[in-house]
Amino acid sequence: MAVVESEPKVREASCCGMATSPVTVADAERLAPMFKALGDPVRLQMVSMIAASPELCVCEITPAFDLSSGTISHHLRTLRQAGLVDCERRGTFVYYWIRPEALESLSALLSKA
């Protein structure tokens, strides 16, 4: 059986934009909740929907999922607590928008050369 060297995989990963330097403790503590929130497929879809428009009403998010309104609220609250989205209540509806600085932080970590 041939021995496969791991060095080419390291080169491949760095050419694809993955971080090549260790994450600081402060950055890890700040970014981990964002990655954790995005680790759920429903929340990842929600963030994608919200990021695709300047703002999105919860009434536009809810029909996209076969989930109860309580579960939708839980996912949106998790995204807010992670710092990925922000919101504002207007009458009976809540409008969500992406926090660009959060996406910039995640992108900067993943694209370090």
What are the tens digits of pLDDT across the range 47-106?
999 999 999 999 999 999 999 999 999 999 999 999 999 999 999 999 999 999 999 999
**Structure confidence by residue, pLDDT tens digits, 13-58:** 334 434 567 888 998 999 999 999 999 999 999 999 999 999 999 9
The full set of domains in the chain, from first to last, is 7-110 (1.10.10.10)
Query: The whole model's pTM is what?
Result: 0.78
Of 99, 92, 103, the residue nearest 58 (C-alpha): 92
Task: Using DSSP, state whether 6 is helix, strand or coil.
Answer: coil
Tokens of 78: 């998790």
For residues 25 and 53, give the distance between their C-alpha atoms in angstroms, rounded to a whole number.
33
pLDDT category of residue 10 using cuts at 50, 70 and 90: very low
At 93, which helix (H) or strand (E)? Answer: strand 93-98
